[in-house]
Chain A
Amino acid sequence: MKKLLVVLLMVLFVLTGCAGGNGKTEEVVYVIGQDAEPATLNPDAISDDNNYAIVQNLFPRLYKLNNAFNAIPDLATSYDVSDDALTYTFHLRDNAKWSDGEKVTSADVLYTFNEIVDKSYAFESVFASVTSMEAPDDYTVVLKLSEPDGSFLANLSWYGTFILPEHVLKGTDWMTNDEFSNNPVTCGPFKFDQWNKGTDVQIVRDDNYWGDAPKLDRVIYTVVSDGNTMYQAWLNGEIDEISAYYIPTTDLEGIMADTEHYYTVNQVWPSPWYITFNLEDEHFGNPLVRKAVMYGVDREDVSVKATGGYKPANNHFIPDNFVDAVNDEAKEADYDLAKAQALLEEAGYTKDANGYYFECTFAVMDGFDDFCKVIADNMEKMGIKVNLTVLDYNIWVEQCLDNYDFEITALGGFQGPDVLGTTRRWTTDGAVNVARYSRAEVDELAKKATQAATDEERNECIKQVQTYLAEDVPFVLCVNYVDYAPFKSYIKGNNYLSVADGGSMEKSGFSELTYYWLDK
């Protein structure tokens, strides 16, 4: 037994002792944690949140969105719009090369966009109003629209519209082309290096890149599916950057206070968490009941209890951060419990012996548990008995979104990139209109907003929409999605910070790492 112990201790000593030192390279390596592996490195085939951060460093778009949600030049150096807002002419840079040395030309752009439309790839909808695509020369692309589309440029700069190499892909099916999905030919500040399945994706600096050379030599996206483990690995220095989502709210305050080792950026996303209703439900089909929920759910309370106050209450029917389009005349009502109960009584409800007006089932999407519990608690206070059922995302999609089989539910999600992104949530054809809200005036206004010539005109339409939303209350936006993201203090050139603050926001896309450097 004693011998065994000695041997064990020796093994332990050797194993723990050999940490670090030998074999290290001089490369500047940056490690980012992800909770899941990409399905593919083709950025346009499917909607894959797990490759989005990576592909922004590998492929160009004509224009790209930055962290201030502005479209900034990428492969195109500039663009012109005709006076009728129907013709967009993009001028491409003439010095861009694919990682295999071929030149990037307008033919690649046309090939990519045509393929997205012809094969119904994920972001086909971006091109819904495009009637023709032409390339008068190697470095010019002309897109013609059937009607003005105020969010065309923003959508084109967002997701699923990365330019792909025609000479590599022509004649292949993006969904089954493993060669490209696993080892893509790229054109970005970085190029693909290796993908160790189940473990990590590694990209390295591309010296062919037309723009400023990245300071990082290698970026490793490491897959850690358990959030607690990812957080520990970040604290232990094995990972440089993780999403703020994995930093427990209870630890956030301490980390933010430790300014020697961390700095914190905050980013407001137009992705509020909200309650929505089944408009055919026996209870929530009645607008009075929906209004009662609006009055009776204390959004401040939800913010504090469910998010530690880090995600502030949202007070309009569109995300508060669209400041130019919010309508202060048609806001969501402030908390008023008496008013809520008065509305329920006006709707014909009386309290039963247990103090409840009625009972309902709240379909909770996995991940929104805390948020929904606080809402349920508020509803119980006003006299609605709530049964929570937690559904995994797939089941939620089928049951709530597809089959409309729920009473009340809650969700989040991106309502950008610009204010027209909110239309997906409340127009009759909206892709994420869970309530199946449908009102002719609203649809008409959405169309007008999309075709509006100026931002003012567009915002005016969206403001009018809010008066209808305030009348019908198909949903109640509760908290605004704000990320307080701590970064290790040695990470410089952050794309969340403006250039004036030592960041790179004005120069780089959402997750682009061109200007990152490590001050170690």
Chain B
Amino acid sequence: MFISKAEEKLVKRFILKRLFSGTIVVLFSVLFNFVIIRMAPGDPTRLLAGKDNPSPEMIAALREKYGLNKPVLEQFWIYLKQLAHGDFGYSYVSTAKVWDLIETRLGPTFLIALTGAVIALVLGTLLGVFAARKKGSKFDIFLCGISYFFDSTPSFWLGLMMILLFASILKWFPTYGMYSLRGNYTGIAKVLDLLRHMFLPVTTLVLIDIPYFFRIARSSVLQTMSEDFIMTLRATGMPEKKIFNKYVMRNAIIPTVTVFGITLAYMITGVSMIEIVFAWPGMGRLMLDSITRRDYPTLSAIYLMLSISVAVMTVVVDIVYAWIDPRIRIE
């Protein structure tokens, strides 16, 4: 792509502006998350003390130790100082560093979330474009109907149905988890074992995600096709195929990029419901477990990573826009 010096300057300023506003957003969300989590009823130290014979001495000792007896703002200051050292602190619930907990979960989460998102992006967009070109056909009507069906299906229900059908009845795939516990597979067998375990959660995710990409692709293609410049191009006698590939697609792809970017941004917190149904050891489960157990340090770290990821992806999406569509660059 060719850009002039003046344009390059504009692009640089554009990126800097976006990065600056992203940083502000992240800082605010750190404060916000910190306070909001602590305002939620429920106290982590109560949970550590147990249900059947809670010891008041232990609760007092833990509150002291974690600094929970200090005012929230003071706690926040301590937290910021800690963060400045790149330290997320210790989990209240697991005797482990927060980063160690998160680190082990990121891989599995990206494995299914990224695979699922990419497959859904490709299939959904292709089907959407296809349906738009054949608008009103039986194929279009069928796809629209089925997209509404999967769009309104809760992921945990669909996941459970997949388990019942493919694991319990047909016995094609394992019920849950990432690896077979009883088999000590190595090499190729291990990879195949992983793929078998990935199949149902990824398929569930793809089925749930396709409708978004399908409908966005379909409607933006339809919208672009109805614009005046397309009519003009048609009037010039340009072949339909060329109009579509060169002019319609490039305009219509922008909303898809946005949705995909946001999907990627939220990927860091995983796909909670699907991870829970398939007992997949990802970030989504870690987040939900941390919420129920009021594990403040782990939650703060996850939310911080989420806000950074959203801020970064927003900037990336803006840059990709500018790349696809010169009009945005100039503005």
Interface of A with B (CB < 8 Å)?
12, 14-16, 18-20, 22-25, 29, 31, 36-37, 39-40, 42, 45-49, 119-125, 159, 174-178, 181-182, 196-200, 220, 222-226, 228-230, 232-233, 235-236, 238, 392-395, 397-399, 402, 413-414, 424, 431-432
Contact = CB atoms under 8 A, between A and B. Distances in A.
Given A18-B192, A197-B104, A198-B105, A23 B185 contact: yes
Contacts, number: 198
Contacts of B108: 198
A199 B177 contact: yes
Contacts of A398: 41-43, 46
Contact of B176 (A159, A233, A414): A233
Contacts of A181: 94-96
A224 B55 contact: no
Nearest to A117: B57
A15 B41 contact: no
B88 to A, nearest CB: 14
B277 interface: yes
B181 A47 contact: no
23 contacts: A15-B199, A24-B183, A36-B289, A37-B94, A39-B48, A39-B94, A46-B50, A47-B48, A122-B49, A123-B55, A124-B57, A178-B95, A197-B104, A225-B289, A229-B163, A229-B278, A232-B164, A236-B167, A238-B175, A392-B292, A394-B46, A394-B292, A431-B55
Given A232-B168, A233-B176, A236-B168, A198 B95 contact: no
B195 interface: yes
Nearest to B283: A198
A380 B61 CA distance: 44
> What 4 A-B pairs have minimum CB-CB distances, sorted nearest first?
A47-B50, A394-B42, A198-B281, A181-B95
Contacts of A47: 48-54
A40 B48 CA distance: 11
Interface in B6-64: 41-43, 46-58, 60-61
Nearest to B199: A15
Contacts of A199: 177-179, 279, 281
B234 interface: no
Interface string B95-107: 1110011001100
B292 to A, nearest CB: 7
A292 B177 CA distance: 50
A223 B286 CA distance: 12
Given A121-B58, A395-B42, A432-B52, A40 B94 contact: yes
Given A14-B192, A120-B58, A198-B108, 20 more contacts: A15-B192, A18-B189, A19-B196, A42-B95, A46-B48, A46-B49, A47-B50, A124-B58, A159-B53, A198-B105, A222-B177, A222-B181, A224-B177, A225-B285, A230-B176, A397-B42, A424-B52, A431-B55, A432-B52, A432-B53
A441 B58 CA distance: 29
A267 to B, nearest CB: 17
B285 A198 contact: yes
A399 B90 contact: no
B196 A18 contact: yes
Contact of B95 (A175, A196, A393): A175
Given A36-B289, A229-B279, A392-B42, A424 B182 contact: no
Interface in B185-242: 185-186, 189, 192-193, 195-196, 199
Contacts of B116: none
Contacts of B193: 18
A432 B55 CA distance: 10
B282 interface: yes
A394 B47 contact: yes
A119 B55 CA distance: 12
A182 B186 CA distance: 25
B159 to A, nearest CB: 8
B125 to A, nearest CB: 15
A177 B95 CA distance: 7
- Among A48, A229, A431, max chain B CB count under 10 A is at A229
A49 to B, nearest CB: 8
B171 interface: yes
Given A40-B95, A224-B279, A120 B61 contact: yes
B55 A120 contact: yes
A397 B43 contact: yes
Contacts of A200: 181
A14 B191 CA distance: 12
Nearest to B45: A46
B304 to A, nearest CB: 20
A120 B54 CA distance: 11
A16 B172 contact: yes
A402 B45 CA distance: 13
A236 B42 contact: no
Contact of A178 (B55, B97, B184, B185): B97
Contacts of A37: 94, 289
Nearest to B279: A224
A281 B110 CA distance: 52
A225 B52 contact: no
B182 A31 contact: yes
Contacts of B286: 198
A175 B96 CA distance: 9
Nearest to B193: A18
B119 to A, nearest CB: 11
B185 A22 contact: yes
B175 A432 contact: no
B65 interface: yes
